[in-house]
């Protein structure tokens, strides 16, 4: 192949790869996709590898982006869409200030190549608690208690009973990666104790006694 032909061939190859990756692929190109070393494609790769993260209010967190093999470090421009929620330093370190959501963008300087991820700033406390199960039956809740202390009807997978002096009613609580809400109270539920609501007594008693770490979110 002549030099000219080679150039042409490479040009077409690049154009095809670009065209193939643009309309259907993700906004960013992951590091694995850049192993085919085709001119500028590998230079331009940048991705967070995740779409959303949670950062605790008052904390710092370093965001990592994956770059193409030839993308030099330190040539990234960082931006936060809402600086009141979180700022981001030149090195990609988030400072979480207020509860809310912001979009952090990492852009390779002098190009339009960028990646972004959503950062949610949250306030929470972790507690180690003794968890038991309960239902609406007379032996669990006494007679005539169809509603929870919050006024809502209880729902399996959502309702937890808590000590409202420690956890305000209505709080979002994450346990084992699942989101519940503090909706009920109970005579025996004092301090670091929670009761997990089940529709059926058999499920409630099968839950037994478990020690859990829960995350209680505050507004
Ligand atoms: Zn019961």
pLDDT in tens, 3-58: 444 444 444 444 444 444 444 333 343 333 333 333 344 555 788 888 999 999 99
In this predicted structure, what is the pLDDT of residue 66?
Answer: 85
| Whether residue 86 sits in one domain with residue 32 | yes
Q: Residue 215 Cα, ligand 1 centroid: separation in angstroms?
A: 26
pLDDT of residue 56: 95
Average pLDDT, the chain: 83
Mean pLDDT of 86-110: 94
> What's the pTM value of the predicted model, to 2 decimals?
0.68
**How many angstroms separate the alpha carbon of residue 162 from the centre of ligand 1?**
17
CA of 167 to the centre of ligand 1 (A): 23
Whether residues 109 and 143 fall in one domain: no
Give a yes or no: residue 142 inside a domain: yes
Nearby residues for ligand 1 (ion, Cβ within 5 Å): 135, 137, 140, 201
Distance 75 CA to ligand 1 centre (A): 61
- How many structural domains compose the chain? 2
The percent of residues above 90 in pLDDT, for the chain, comes to: 64
Portion of the chain with pLDDT greater than 70, in percent: 78
**Residue 55 alpha carbon to ligand 1 centre in Å:** 38
Question: Is 187 or 15 the better-scoring residue by pLDDT?
Answer: 187
Span 188-211, mean pLDDT?
97
What's the gap between Cα 47 and its chain centre?
16
Tell me which of 122, 143, 171 is where a domain ends. 122
202 vs 43, which has greater pLDDT?
Answer: 202
Q: How far away, in angstroms, is 198 Cα from ligand 1 center?
A: 8
Ligand 1 centroid–CA 131 distance in Å is: 15
Rounded Cα distance between 20 and 22, Å, is 6
Mean pLDDT of all residues in 98-122:
93
Which domain covers residue 211, as residue numbers? 135-218
Residue pLDDT, tens place only, 130-179: 999 999 999 998 888 789 999 999 999 999 999 999 999 999 999 999 99
CA of 195 to the centre of ligand 1 (A): 11
Domain with 51 in it: what CATH number?
Answer: 2.60.40.1080
Ligand 1 centroid to residue 24 C-alpha, Å = 52
> Strand 209-218 and strand 172-175: pairing?
antiparallel
**88 and 145 share a domain?**
no
CATH number of the domain where residue 172 is located: 2.40.40.10
pLDDT category at 80 given cuts 50, 70, 90 is: very high
């Amino acid at each position: 192949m002549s030099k000219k032909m080679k150039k042409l061939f490479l040009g077409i190859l690049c154009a095809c790869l670009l065209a193939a990756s643009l309309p259907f692929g993700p906004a960013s190109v992951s590091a694995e996709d850049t192993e085919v070393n085709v001119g500028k494609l590998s230079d331009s790769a940048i991705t967070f590898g995740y779409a959303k993260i949670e950062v605790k209010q008052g904390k710092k967190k370093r965001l990592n982006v994956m770059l193409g093999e030839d993308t030099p470090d330190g040539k990234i421009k960082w931006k936060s869409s809402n600086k009141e929620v979180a700022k981001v330093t030149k090195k990609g370190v988030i400072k979480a200030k207020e509860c809310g959501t912001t979009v952090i963008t990492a852009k390779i300087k002098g190009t339009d190549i960028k990646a972004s991820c959503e950062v949610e700033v949250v306030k929470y406390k972790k507690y180690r608690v003794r968890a038991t199960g309960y239902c609406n039956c007379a032996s669990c809740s006494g007679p005539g208690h169809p509603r929870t202390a919050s006024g809502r009807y209880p729902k399996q997978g959502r309702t937890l009973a808590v000590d409202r002096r420690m956890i305000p009613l209505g709080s979002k609580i994450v346990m084992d990666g699942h989101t519940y809400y503090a909706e009920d109270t109970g005579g025996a539920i004092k301090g670091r104790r929670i009761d997990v609501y089940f529709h059926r007594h058999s499920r409630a008693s099968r839950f037994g006694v478990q020690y859990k770490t829960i995350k209680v979110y505050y507004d």
